């Protein structure tokens, strides 16, 4: 094969990746513009009816737990204080823990039971099906007509059920399958990392979820901070909780909508949650979401395309399920660019117009923050450059997740540790849940050097339009390496001091004896 053919193939791959990224940019822009249109007509008339207190339906609150000793009491206390008739409220702690979380829960459950709150601790020795399996098994003893679900890092408000359950009631709402609240943040200002994550999550909920609902397009249940109609979950056409993807929530919500059930998003109801303060925890979360969403795309993509939805709705659904394909496309561009430079091809010039699509994501995040807070939106939006670098730096992590999903590679269910950090005085580094440095950092370091080499190559050839693009990669992977190693070194130092204190205390005790 001649050099010309290599150049041609690389250009085709580069063009396809760039066009793919451009389409996702246009999609983000479209969602942002769609947000300003009136609510989807079929939902605009569905105002909740306020039933009398003596006629409220029964609700089961399911709390899937796995080794959550730092946050589980906060969650249980919040749910036990729900402003809802106690004779129609059941709380299930679906506990798969293997540490002291279970014994801690047992004592606290008894306290609430003495206060006449219907709390049940259901412990499984085997984590069959992980979260999906726990939720499925819990339904066997659930008494509620509706099922509210919260992950361990949440602290829902006391009026959560009072503001969600009425949306299911009445003949006009009989096809509502689930109601999703917007996620809030207990520790947005804890660090630069948590601020960046909050900015991304706000963009998803305030713009993406709301815009999809406004257009009447499918959207996903986010796994927590929402309520399901039990009849929807158990509908044979839906199929209940299934554990063949890592995003059991996204999977179930799309199967429900394909079966004719309707979703409802409540942007004005907030369910606050803790954002991962450790970079490795954030990367684990992103890996799980990336792999699970692509698994769901493989599983349901054909059904979405063959559904009776309109063509725009089908395309929107496929874009949603395939959102994490952005990362392998970004990684492919980085790997190809130096090859094109060496072959004497300007990789940026022919596709420069596609950069116009890159206005979509920044505008989406700006609109989200403006809607949330006209006073603080600019300060929060200022984290966008760092969020951009985080997104570039996640390319390798999330591309591996996508690869595992596409190739049906099995892997362990890696949880995201929670530490109960709500302000800057709280610390997570002494916890045994803190994660050790991931070997993936070596690959990220190599990609940072690869990007830096490409910068010098582009500069030497006078391809200046490529330099800013390549610098983003270099800085993104460099940020991953620097933050990951920095947090690990501080973690090692904290644990060393912690061990020294315990040894000193043991020495004093032994001398006393």
Q: What is the pLDDT of residues 40-96, one digit of tens each?
A: 545 545 666 666 667 899 999 999 999 999 999 999 999 999 999 999 999 999 999
- DSSP class of residue 463 equals -
Evaluate if residue 351 carries a pLDDT over 80: no
CA neighbours closer than 13 Å in the CB half-sphere of residue 504:
6
- DSSP class of residue 148 equals E
In the block, residue with structure tokens 């899937």: 64
Cα–Cα distance for residue pair 342/337, rounded to 1 Å = 9
Evaluate if residue 500 carries a pLDDT over 60: no
Q: Name the superfamily (CATH) of residues 58-323.
A: Spore Coat Polysaccharide Biosynthesis Protein SpsA; Chain A (3.90.550.10)
Q: Do 402 and 328 form a contact (C-beta atoms < 8 A)? A: yes
Which residues belong to CATH 3.90.550.10 in the chain? Answer: 58-323
Partners of residue 385 on adjacent β-strands? none
Evaluate if residue 38 carries a pLDDT over 70: no
96 an active-site residue? Answer: yes
Percent of the chain with pLDDT over 90: 73
Write down how long the chain is.
Answer: 513
Task: Kindly state the tokens that stand for 38.
Answer: 């009136």
- Mean pLDDT score, 198-219: 95
CB atoms within 10 A of CB 470: 27
Q: Do 316 and 217 form a contact (C-beta atoms < 8 A)? A: yes
Q: What pLDDT is recorded for position 63?
A: 98
- Mean pLDDT score, 37-42: 55
Q: What pLDDT is recorded for position 18?
A: 87
Model confidence at 491, pLDDT cuts 50, 70, 90, reads confident
User: Treating both helix axes as pointing N-terminal to C-terminal, what angle do 395-406 and 440-460 enclose, rounded to 10 degrees?
Assistant: 120
Q: What pLDDT is recorded for position 36?
A: 67
Q: What pLDDT is recorded for position 205?
A: 97
Evaluate if residue 390 carries a pLDDT over 60: yes
Q: What pLDDT is recorded for position 493?
A: 63
- DSSP class of residue 173 equals G
Percent of the chain with pLDDT over 70: 89
What digits encode the pLDDT tens for the residues 475-487?
A: 999 999 999 999 9
Instruction: Out of 96, 151, 202, 438, pick the active-site residue.
Output: 96
Q: Do 57 and 145 form a contact (C-beta atoms < 8 A)? A: yes
Evaluate if residue 494 carries a pLDDT over 80: no
Model confidence at 343, pLDDT cuts 50, 70, 90, reads confident
Evaluate if residue 108 carries a pLDDT over 90: yes
Evaluate if residue 507 carries a pLDDT over 50: no
249 an active-site residue? Answer: yes
Task: Kindly state the tokens that stand for 430.
Answer: 């002494």
CB atoms within 10 A of CB 506: 10
Cα–Cα distance for residue pair 213/155, rounded to 1 Å = 25
In the block, residue with structure tokens 């929107």: 316
- DSSP class of residue 39 equals P
Cα–Cα distance for residue pair 162/159, rounded to 1 Å = 5
Pick left, alpha or beta for residue 260 (phi over 0 → left; psi -120 to 50 → alpha; otherwise beta).
Answer: left
Q: Do 274 and 433 form a contact (C-beta atoms < 8 A)? A: no
* Three-state DSSP class for residue 444: helix
Q: What pLDDT is recorded for position 126?
A: 87
- Terminal-to-terminal C-alpha distance of the chain: 81
The DSSP string of 54-99 is GGPPPEEEEEEESS-TTTHHHHHHHHHT-SS-GGGEEEEEEE---S
Evaluate if residue 341 carries a pLDDT over 80: yes
Evaluate if residue 506 carries a pLDDT over 50: no
- Mean pLDDT score, 178-196: 97
**Which residues lie closer than 8 Å to 94 by C-beta, 6 or more apart?**
62, 63, 64, 65, 122, 124, 134, 135, 137, 138
Q: For the chain, give the mean pLDDT.
A: 90
Task: Kindly state the tokens that stand for 2.
Answer: 């001649």
Model confidence at 225, pLDDT cuts 50, 70, 90, reads very high
Evaluate if residue 178 carries a pLDDT over 80: yes
Whether the predicted model's global pTM rises above the 0.85 cut: yes
What digits encode the pLDDT tens for the residues 257-267?
A: 999 999 999 99
Partners of residue 185 on adjacent β-strands? 273
In the block, residue with structure tokens 């807070």: 373
Phi then psi for 501, rounded to 5 degrees?
Answer: -65, -40
- DSSP class of residue 185 equals E
Q: What pLDDT is recorded for position 509?
A: 37
Q: What pLDDT is recorded for position 501?
A: 45
Task: Count Cβ atoms within 10 A of the Cβ of residue 269 and give its class: 0-12 exposed, 13-18 middle, 19 or more buried.
Answer: buried
Q: What pLDDT is recorded for position 502?
A: 35
Instruction: Out of 95, 137, 151, 249, pick the active-site residue.
Output: 249
Q: What pLDDT is recorded for position 425?
A: 85
Q: What pLDDT is recorded for position 262?
A: 96
In Å, how far from its chain's centre is CA 111?
33
* Three-state DSSP class for residue 179: strand
Cα–Cα distance for residue pair 502/511, rounded to 1 Å = 14
Q: Do 339 and 10 form a contact (C-beta atoms < 8 A)? A: yes
């Amino acid at each position: 094969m001649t050099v010309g053919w290599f150049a041609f193939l690389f250009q085709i791959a580069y063009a396809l990746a760039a066009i793919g990224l451009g389409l996702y940019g246009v999609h983000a822009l479209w969602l942002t513009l769609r947000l300003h249109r009136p609510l989807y007509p079929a939902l605009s008339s569905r105002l909740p009816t306020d039933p009398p207190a003596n006629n409220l339906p029964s609700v089961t609150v399911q709390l899937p737990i796995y080794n959550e000793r730092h946050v589980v009491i906060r969650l249980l206390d919040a749910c036990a204080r729900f402003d809802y008739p106690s004779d129609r409220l059941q709380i299930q702690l679906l506990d798969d823990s293997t540490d002291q979380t279970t014994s801690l829960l047992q004592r606290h459950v008894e306290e609430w039971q003495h206060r006449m709150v219907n709390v049940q601790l259901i412990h499984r020795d085997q984590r069959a099906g992980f979260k999906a399996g726990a939720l499925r098994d819990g339904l066997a003893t659930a008494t509620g007509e509706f099922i509210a679900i919260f992950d361990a890092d949440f602290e829902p408000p006391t009026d959560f059920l009072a503001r969600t359950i009425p949306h299911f009631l009445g003949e006009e709402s009989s096809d509502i399958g689930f109601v999703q609240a917007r996620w809030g943040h207990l520790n947005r200002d804890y660090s630069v990392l948590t601020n960046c994550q909050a900015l991304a999550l706000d963009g998803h909920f305030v713009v993406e979820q709301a815009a999809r609902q406004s257009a009447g397009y499918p959207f996903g249940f986010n796994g927590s901070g929402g309520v399901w109609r039990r009849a929807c979950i158990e509908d044979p056409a839906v199929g209940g909780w299934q554990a063949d993807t890592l995003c059991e929530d996204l999977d179930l919500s799309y199967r429900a909508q394909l079966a004719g059930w309707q979703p409802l998003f409540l942007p004005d109801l907030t369910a606050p949650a803790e954002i991962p303060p450790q970079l490795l925890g954030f990367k684990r979360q992103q890996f799980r979401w990336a792999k699970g969403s692509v698994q769901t795309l493989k599983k349901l993509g054909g059904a979405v395309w063959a559904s009776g939805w309109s063509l725009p709705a089908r395309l929107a659904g496929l874009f949603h399920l395939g959102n994490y394909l952005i990362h392998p496309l970004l990684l492919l561009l980085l790997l190809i660019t130096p090859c094109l430079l060496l072959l004497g091809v300007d990789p940026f010039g022919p596709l420069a117009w596609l950069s116009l699509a890159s206005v979509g994501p920044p505008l989406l995040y700006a609109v989200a923050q403006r809607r949330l807070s006209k006073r603080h939106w600019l300060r929060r939006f200022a984290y966008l450059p760092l969020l951009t670098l985080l997104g570039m730096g996640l390319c390798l992590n999330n591309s591996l997740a996508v690869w595992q999903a596409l190739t049906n590679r099995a892997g362990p269910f890696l949880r995201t540790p929670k530490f109960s950090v709500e302000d800057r005085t709280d610390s997570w580094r002494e916890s045994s849940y803190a994660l050790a440095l991931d070997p993936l950092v070596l690959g990220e370091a190599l990609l940072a050097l690869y990007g830096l080499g490409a910068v010098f190559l582009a500069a030497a050839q006078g391809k200046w339009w490529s330099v800013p693009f390549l610098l983003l990669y270099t800085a993104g992977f460099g940020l991953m390496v620097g933050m990951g190693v920095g947090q690990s070194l501080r973690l090692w130092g904290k644990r060393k001091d912690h061990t020294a204190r315990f040894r000193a205390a043991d020495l004093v005790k032994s001398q006393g004896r």
